[in-house]
Amino acid sequence: MSKKAFLKAAAIKTADEKHRQTIAFNMGKYDAAVAKGKQNYLNLPAARRHAKNIKWQVMEHLPQYLQEFEHNFTQRGGKVIWAETAQQAANAILSILQQHGVKGVVKSKSMATEEIHLNEHLEQAGITVYETDLGEFIVQLSGEKPYHIVTPAMHKSRADVATLFNRLFNTPLSATAEEMTQTARRQLRPQYTRCEAGITGANFLLADIGGIAITENEGNARLTTALPRIHIAIAGIEKVLPSVKDLAHFWPLLATHGTGQQVTVYNTIFTGPRRTDEAEGPEAMYVVLLDNGRAAMLADPKLRQALYCIRCGACLNACPVYRQVGGHTYQSTYSGPIGSVIAPHIGNPKEQKDHEHLSHASSLCGRCTEVCPVNIPLHELLLYNRRKMAAAGATAFAERFAWAVWKKMMLNPRLLQTTENNLGNRLFSAIFGRIWGRQRSLPQLPPKSFRTVWQEQQQIKNSADNE
C-alpha cells in the first residue's frame, strides 16, 4: 500500500463516526481493565526492566538458544523446520499436510500464519481452514483480516456480529454475546474431531525444555492441539525464552498488558508428540521457525530491540494514530507502533518497500514506549526507520526541498530575518496549511519574532543604562 493510499484510507476511517464509537467503547474497556491489572504489580518498572533484560540476553545469543530449542524438542520426538521466507514456511506446512493426507485444519490464533498468508495458501491447495478463536472466526466469516494483534474483531460491535450471524446462521438479531458464542461453538466443535491437523502459533519457545508455550482465553488452542492427529506450530525466531522458569514472569506480564488479566485463562506447554506411554495427544508435532526478515533486524543493533516484542498489543491501544485510523488502514499483518517499526523489515523486499511509509504514521508522542512491557523504545525506532529511509534517498522531493530551504534559512540570519512576521505567517500557512490545515485552524505566528523582541528589549535596556 502506498503512502497516498494509506492517507486516503486513514481520512475515511477517521471520519467514520460508527468506527470511532466502537473503538472508543472497546478501548475504554481495555484501558480500565489494564489500569486495574497493573495494580497487581508492586514494582511494575522493575518487572518491565527484568523482562527487557531477559529478551536482551536472548537476542544477544539467539542462534545458541534456537539450537538449544531444536535439540531438546527433537529429543522429545518433535520436528523443527527452519523457514527463511514466508513462502518456504507456507510450502513446508502444505507439504506436511499433503504427506498426511489432510483435507481440513483447525487453527488457533496466530499472527505468524497471517504473516505468511497461510490460509490463502492452504485453501488454494484445496485444504479447508477453520479459525477457532472467536475473534478470528468472526473476521474469517466477514472475509476480513484481523484488526488487532490481540483482539482480531475489536472493530465490530455486538450488533455487527449479530447481523453477520443472523445472515449466516439465522440467529436472532437480538442475540446476546453468550448466545452468539454458543452458536460459534456449535459450528466449530465438530471440526476438532473431523480435521486431521491443528495449526497454532506459539507465544514463547522454551529453549531449556524444548517446548512451546501457548496462552489463550477460550480453550480453542487446547482443542486444536489435543484432538487432531497432527500439530503444527509456527513461531518467529524471536519468540525464544531461555527457560521454562521465565514463564513465571512473562505469562502475567503478557496477560496484564494484553487484556488486564492477572494471568490468561488457559496456559499450556507442549513438548512434542504423544509418547508411547501416553493415551492422548498428536501423533506428530512440528515447529516451524520463521525468519522472514528477522535475522536482518537482529543484525542491526538498534533495530534488534524490536524483536523483544511479546505481542501484547498495548502499544496499539495507546497509540493516538491507531485509535483514529484503526488496524485495517495499515494494510500490514502487524499494525500500530510495533507494526510501523517492523513492517518495513518483514517479508519480501516488495512488502518491505510497501510498508516503509508506516514509520511516518506516528505523532512521536512516545506513549507506545511508555506502555511497552519490555521497554522497547518504539518512538525512537520509528525515527530510526525514518532516518534510514532519508539516508537511502527514499523521501519525497517536496520534503527534501523543504528541508533544504529550512537549512539554508537557519544557516543564514539575514535570510531568516526576511521571512519573519507576516511573510513568515504566509509561508507557514502556504506550506503547512495544505498538509495539516484542511480540517483544523492553524496557530498564527506571533506578530514579532523572538529576535525582534530581543533586539527591542536590548535597545530599551541600553537607553536606560545610558541615562
Q: What is the distance between the alpha carbons of residues 215 and 188, in angstroms, rounded to a whole number? A: 20
How near is the Cβ of 130 to ligand SF4 at its closest, in Å?
A: 27
333 grid coordinates: 499483518
Contact call for residues 377 and 389 (beta carbons, < 8 A): no
281 grid coordinates: 495427544
Tallying the residues shown for the chain, one arrives at 467
Strands (E), 347-437: none
Q: What is the distance between the alpha carbons of residues 376 and 360, in angstroms, rounded to a whole number? A: 18
Decide whether 225 or 340 has the Cβ nearer to ligand SF4: 340
Contact call for residues 210 and 271 (beta carbons, < 8 A): yes
Decide whether 59 or 312 has the Cβ nearer to ligand SF4: 312
Count helices and strands (H / E) in the chain: 23, 10
Residue with cell 521457525: 289
How near is the Cβ of 267 to ligand SF4 at its closest, in Å?
A: 18
Decide whether 119 or 305 has the Cβ nearer to ligand SF4: 305
Q: What is the distance between the alpha carbons of residues 358 and 360, in angstroms, rounded to a whole number? A: 5
Q: Using CB under 6 A as the criterion, which residues of the chain lie in contact with ligand SF4 when the complex forms?
A: 257, 309-315, 338, 371-374, 376, 378
How near is the Cβ of 378 to ligand SF4 at its closest, in Å?
A: 6
Residue 281 Rama label (left phi>0; alpha psi -120 to 50; beta)? left
- The tally of CA atoms less than 13 A away on the side-chain side of residue 365 is 13
How near is the Cβ of 316 to ligand SF4 at its closest, in Å?
A: 7
Q: What is the distance between the alpha carbons of residues 261 and 249, in angstroms, rounded to a whole number? A: 14
Contact call for residues 292 and 84 (beta carbons, < 8 A): yes
Decide whether 211 or 337 has the Cβ nearer to ligand SF4: 337
How near is the Cβ of 34 to ligand SF4 at its closest, in Å?
A: 11
Contact call for residues 325 and 10 (beta carbons, < 8 A): yes
How near is the Cβ of 311 to ligand SF4 at its closest, in Å?
A: 5
Residue with cell 478463536: 133
Beta bridge partners of 284: 230
Decide whether 93 or 214 has the Cβ nearer to ligand SF4: 214
How near is the Cβ of 341 to ligand SF4 at its closest, in Å?
A: 8
Decide whether 191 or 305 has the Cβ nearer to ligand SF4: 305
Decide whether 72 or 113 has the Cβ nearer to ligand SF4: 113
How near is the Cβ of 399 to ligand SF4 at its closest, in Å?
A: 27
Decide whether 138 or 381 has the Cβ nearer to ligand SF4: 381
313 grid coordinates: 498489543
How near is the Cβ of 262 to ligand SF4 at its closest, in Å?
A: 17
Q: What is the distance between the alpha carbons of residues 124 and 250, in angstroms, rounded to a whole number? A: 37
Decide whether 198 or 326 has the Cβ nearer to ligand SF4: 326
Contact call for residues 259 and 54 (beta carbons, < 8 A): no
